[in-house]
A and B are shown apart, each in its own frame.
Chain A
């Protein structure tokens, strides 16, 4: 133990963990044969951005988790090291292969078992890039840990207003934190359609002030204490980092761990490519130099800067052939060895290396990977063309189509909103075949479980962003205009009004009274005291007492038909009815109650004549009142038709009796 202090002083190697797999299939069919880590982003593999970012951020050792296509990644890294890529000079990269891992959580559990990490580390999810200075944040996390022993993680977030392209719509984040950045509540709203956000009251009351933030995006970068890995191992249900955050917040007392967040400021940038839409947004942001110094003209992972940055954000490799009449509009990058022929127009697009573009081609908002040739008169909009593709002249590819590696489209095809791959998929029908090496894939291939509207939206949100303001705007505006007061109120349910409370009270009293065979006098006393407690009018009392008795059979649920269970009740509560139905006004109330219950409950509606007859025979209701009430009922209702025979009978009886008198 004597040399322990020496070891502590010795500076730890700053470590990072990168999980290179996202365990989802968002990038099919491109990722069928290319690992996500090697997905070209502005003609450079994604992993190069990640590693370069880490080494610039001050990381000295990185553990790279790979689960599939490991050989390709290994080969790529070896090549980079041989070419002495920037990161390879200052950072050591260890590849960890664990093909058994099925989730992000599995990877971390595996890492825990290996015992490679000893201190705080930076954790990156797949496809994360940025230009954040990590060391100050690591230091800050360290300081927090000194104050709060339970601090497990600092998640790094960036400001992004509602509707910003780089804000992943899946991950609309609602964060509640204390003023010193401790996370209290973390919810990704993206998938939920709810219009209300439920915050536990205690987080608001236990802190004198909290921030409720909805202007942040998750960079998928986090600073972790060494305790994170054991926490993943102890809680094997943590699959993703969000599971981890949620689990820690819910079980804060049990796990004794806290989470903090850090807002990156100034020119720092972080983002994670989780789906095509984010791929599109991040590409644009790199073109717009948000990631500086990780921009094409500075050379990413190479020592040569092959690209020249021209006005309108056009990046051109030195080795590019442009025809005189070709037109690069804005936000375009063209890789080496590519050529563009006469009359072609390209805007907001990424053109890979060794691309041959024919005459009069229009390319907008699209991504063309390397070694592809595009024939004359093709139009490509809002689409991704994988590497080694051949598009014969006259093709039109639009609306979020993705063409996998090696697809060959014959002449004059029209591809819209489809995934296309070169190999024939299992169970493909004839209609899916576009050519010898072009087969359509179904979009909803893997998720068959639900085709709900929400699912559709989720799908849509993960694909390329085609037209502006279709989903976001509409939902925003409609919410604003169609808002009722009730929706805006903060409490969950409207306060039940006193009359309703009175009714339930009366039903309870009567049910108990009937079961325990209580004296009706006592029940009347009870009802009267409820009446004063809830301050209801005489009219409402009469109405609700009758209503309560008629509703009671549902409450007692004896299993017998309605009329069978109602009859003994009426007989039993006869004194109560007598007490309340004293005058003609009360009779009207009684009749209204019958009408209301009958119109909402079919059981009573069917036997309403019998019930009315009983009331009439027991002198609770007078003939005149029934007739005058009946004349006020809407003739088109079923209720009217039901009561009609009874009324006829009454009138006949009256005529008979009056004639007898004469």
Chain B
């Protein structure tokens, strides 16, 4: 069988530790976004980009649940589930575990990506420069004010410092802004080599990476690296500045094989592209007399998506709220031709007051004389008479009794809200029961000991 040029891997074993309120009772990758679970979006993106199969890394105890949910979404892409144990594993650790399945270069996605970007542009940049790593970066979304359910708190986004060579799109610097106290130290050799760097502090790392096969092999050897973004990428980006040690001819062959040098893995002597490059007059940069790519063997590139691209990582509560507020507007671009099902045919909707910004999932029962605006009603949920649900997200198996007013809330799985309650701007944890006539606003309502597990 012909090897595919790229293999796709989706990392879906994350615990969603940045939004524990939502992920306490549900795998992060199954959080509802519009009418689909979160993981559907990267899967669909891959299918749309022409991938026939994908390796999906999931946590052992969530595998069945995820598998069932994906089977229900009618995707054609063949999903190869790979389950990993429950212990806290980093993203690079996950990759290391599947190394036996990796036969070619890899496209790594996170399960929390919702975007309308064209993946082939990233891949093309990778191909064009025969890169080691290519990362996809987004411009920050235009600042939108969404009232986040739960207590009023400042959500401070994590910021990365990302340095990109302005001429060549080489990714030359990556670090988290919180790693530094007052000064950022740049090696002088970096600015001498890349004399025009644009340093971004507002770009969003999409966690879409195209990796050369050798990177996985190197990962296998370098056991101390546990995350892709936090450790692997900065490490390899830094290594761009080093050159392989000059080989001493006296050394025995066995000796060089044993060397743990990254260049032992990254060697490109056998590749055709090197010959082509040596024969060509192409140079990626001007301003000095150095050869193309400065003769670097390791080359990392950044593809910065066009400013009008929509791309968001659903890994925090604000991001989750934002994406749900936007999903109908962006649906056409994201799903590219796939029809948006506003009301599942298996839903039992008796209400006449459902506005066109609502999405009703299968088997939900909306009784008469109920009102809905701008909301998502998850599977098997029930809303009884004289209740209204505005700007809210109901996950699955939620029961809302009579005369309940719900505004700007996120209601997790299996919640029961007894009659007469008025709840505004709240986040209700899974399987919580709200007693009758409760009035809440700006709170997280949850069985507290459930959260303690994390």
Interface set of A (CB-CB < 8 Å, partner B): 159, 161-163, 174, 176, 179, 189, 194-202, 204-205, 207-215, 476, 479-481, 483, 485, 487-492
Whether, in the assembled complex, B192 has its beta carbon less than 8 Å from a beta carbon of chain A, the answer is yes
- Residues in B with CB closer than 8 Å to A163 are 288-289
| CB-contacts of B438-453 with A (<8 A) | none
Q: Are B188 and A212 touching (Cβ within 8 A)?
A: no
Closest chain A CB from B235 CB (angstroms): 9
Known: A198-B185, A211-B166. A162 touches B192 (CB 8 A): yes
Q: Are A212 and B181 touching (Cβ within 8 A)?
A: no
Top 8 nearest A-B pairs (CB, nearest first) are A215-B195, A161-B287, A208-B202, A214-B195, A214-B191, A212-B197, A161-B288, A196-B185
Whether, in the assembled complex, B179 has its beta carbon less than 8 Å from a beta carbon of chain A, the answer is yes
Closest chain B CB from A73 CB (angstroms): 38
In-complex Cβ contact of B179 among A200, A479, A490 (8 A): A490
Q: Are A483 and B195 touching (Cβ within 8 A)?
A: no
Known: A163-B288, A481-B243. A195 touches B183 (CB 8 A): no
Closest chain A CB from B200 CB (angstroms): 5
- Residues in B with CB closer than 8 Å to A491 are 179-180, 185
Closest chain A CB from B396 CB (angstroms): 39
**Nearest CB in chain B to that of A483: its residue:** B242
Whether, in the assembled complex, B196 has its beta carbon less than 8 Å from a beta carbon of chain A, the answer is yes
Closest chain A CB from B86 CB (angstroms): 21
Closest chain B CB from A168 CB (angstroms): 16
Q: Are A201 and B195 touching (Cβ within 8 A)?
A: no
- Residues in B with CB closer than 8 Å to A176 are 199
- Residues in A with CB closer than 8 Å to B182 are 200-202
| CB-contacts of B91-143 with A (<8 A) | 140
Whether, in the assembled complex, B173 has its beta carbon less than 8 Å from a beta carbon of chain A, the answer is yes
- Contact code string B411-424 (vs A, CB < 8 Å = 1, else 0): 00000000000000
Whether, in the assembled complex, B175 has its beta carbon less than 8 Å from a beta carbon of chain A, the answer is yes
| 7 cross-chain CB contacts under 8 A | A207-B201, A208-B140, A209-B198, A212-B196, A476-B192, A489-B238, A490-B179
Please name 9 further chain A to chain B contacts, defined as beta carbons within 8 Å, in addition to the given A197-B191, A487-B187, sorted by A numbering: A162-B287, A196-B185, A204-B161, A204-B184, A210-B201, A212-B197, A481-B245, A488-B187, A492-B185
Whether, in the assembled complex, B159 has its beta carbon less than 8 Å from a beta carbon of chain A, the answer is yes
Q: Are B243 and A480 touching (Cβ within 8 A)?
A: yes
In-complex Cβ contact of A205 among B201, B239, B288 (8 A): B201
Most buried by B among A210, A214, A481: A214
- Residues in B with CB closer than 8 Å to A199 are 183-186
Complex Cα–Cα for A161 and B194 (A): 10
Q: Are B198 and A211 touching (Cβ within 8 A)?
A: yes
- Residues in B with CB closer than 8 Å to A194 are 188
Complex Cα–Cα for A197 and B186 (A): 5
Q: Are A209 and B200 touching (Cβ within 8 A)?
A: yes
Complex Cα–Cα for A481 and B244 (A): 8
- Residues in B with CB closer than 8 Å to A489 are 185, 238
Complex Cα–Cα for A476 and B245 (A): 16
Whether, in the assembled complex, B189 has its beta carbon less than 8 Å from a beta carbon of chain A, the answer is yes
Q: Are B180 and A201 touching (Cβ within 8 A)?
A: yes
Complex Cα–Cα for A189 and B190 (A): 14
**Nearest CB in chain A to that of B173: its residue:** A490
Closest chain A CB from B16 CB (angstroms): 25
Q: Are B197 and A211 touching (Cβ within 8 A)?
A: yes
**Nearest CB in chain B to that of A163: its residue:** B288
Q: Are B202 and A201 touching (Cβ within 8 A)?
A: no
Known: A215-B287, A488-B241, A490-B173. A189 touches B180 (CB 8 A): no
Q: Are B188 and A479 touching (Cβ within 8 A)?
A: yes
Whether, in the assembled complex, B177 has its beta carbon less than 8 Å from a beta carbon of chain A, the answer is yes
Most buried by B among A161, A485, A490: A490
In-complex Cβ contact of B184 among A161, A198, A208, A483 (8 A): A198
Most buried by A among B140, B188, B195, B245: B188
Closest chain B CB from A647 CB (angstroms): 41
- Residues in A with CB closer than 8 Å to B163 are 212
- Contact code string B325-338 (vs A, CB < 8 Å = 1, else 0): 00000000000000
Complex Cα–Cα for A368 and B175 (A): 55
**Nearest CB in chain A to that of B183: its residue:** A198
Closest chain B CB from A411 CB (angstroms): 43
Complex Cα–Cα for A214 and B199 (A): 13
Known: A162-B288, A490-B173, A490-B180. A483 touches B189 (CB 8 A): yes
Complex Cα–Cα for A373 and B197 (A): 52
Q: Helix, strand, loop or mixed for chain A's interface?
A: mixed
Known: A205-B201, A208-B200. A490 touches B195 (CB 8 A): no
Complex Cα–Cα for A204 and B173 (A): 13
Closest chain B CB from A486 CB (angstroms): 10
Closest chain B CB from A510 CB (angstroms): 29
In-complex Cβ contact of B183 among A200, A213, A214, A488 (8 A): A200
In-complex Cβ contact of B177 among A204, A209, A487 (8 A): A204
Closest chain A CB from B236 CB (angstroms): 12
**Nearest CB in chain A to that of B186: its residue:** A197
Closest chain A CB from B202 CB (angstroms): 4
Complex Cα–Cα for A162 and B242 (A): 19
Complex Cα–Cα for A173 and B286 (A): 18
- Residues in A with CB closer than 8 Å to B179 are 490-491
Q: Are A201 and B288 touching (Cβ within 8 A)?
A: no
- Residues in B with CB closer than 8 Å to A207 are 201
Known: A163-B289, A195-B188, A490-B179. A205 touches B159 (CB 8 A): yes
Most buried by A among B163, B203, B287: B287
- Residues in B with CB closer than 8 Å to A214 are 191-192, 195-196
Known: A200-B182, A491-B180. A159 touches B287 (CB 8 A): yes
In-complex Cβ contact of B188 among A197, A200, A208 (8 A): A197
Complex Cα–Cα for A163 and B193 (A): 11
Q: Are A201 and B192 touching (Cβ within 8 A)?
A: no
Q: Are B196 and A215 touching (Cβ within 8 A)?
A: yes
In-complex Cβ contact of A204 among B192, B199, B238 (8 A): B199
Complex Cα–Cα for A652 and B161 (A): 68
Known: A205-B159, A209-B200, A211-B166. A490 touches B186 (CB 8 A): yes
Q: Are B195 and A195 touching (Cβ within 8 A)?
A: no
Complex Cα–Cα for A155 and B286 (A): 24
**Nearest CB in chain B to that of A201: its residue:** B180
Q: Are A196 and B188 touching (Cβ within 8 A)?
A: yes
Q: Are B238 and A212 touching (Cβ within 8 A)?
A: no
Complex Cα–Cα for A162 and B288 (A): 6
- Residues in A with CB closer than 8 Å to B286 are 161
Closest chain A CB from B289 CB (angstroms): 7
Complex Cα–Cα for A485 and B261 (A): 12
- Residues in A with CB closer than 8 Å to B184 are 198-201, 204, 490
Closest chain B CB from A568 CB (angstroms): 40
Q: Are B241 and A480 touching (Cβ within 8 A)?
A: yes
Closest chain A CB from B199 CB (angstroms): 5
Closest chain B CB from A194 CB (angstroms): 7
- Residues in A with CB closer than 8 Å to B166 are 211
Q: Are B183 and A189 touching (Cβ within 8 A)?
A: no
Complex Cα–Cα for A480 and B201 (A): 27
Q: Are A201 and B181 touching (Cβ within 8 A)?
A: yes
**Nearest CB in chain B to that of A211: its residue:** B198
Complex Cα–Cα for A55 and B204 (A): 50
Known: A199-B183, A214-B195, A483-B242. A205 touches B188 (CB 8 A): no
- Residues in A with CB closer than 8 Å to B200 are 208-209
Q: Are B201 and A209 touching (Cβ within 8 A)?
A: yes
Complex Cα–Cα for A210 and B161 (A): 10
In-complex Cβ contact of B201 among A159, A161, A195, A204 (8 A): A204
Complex Cα–Cα for A607 and B203 (A): 61
- Residues in A with CB closer than 8 Å to B241 are 480, 483, 488
Complex Cα–Cα for A179 and B202 (A): 13
**Nearest CB in chain A to that of B181: its residue:** A201
Complex Cα–Cα for A250 and B55 (A): 53
Closest chain A CB from B204 CB (angstroms): 12
Q: Are B197 and A195 touching (Cβ within 8 A)?
A: no
**Nearest CB in chain A to that of B184: its residue:** A199
**Nearest CB in chain A to that of B167: its residue:** A215
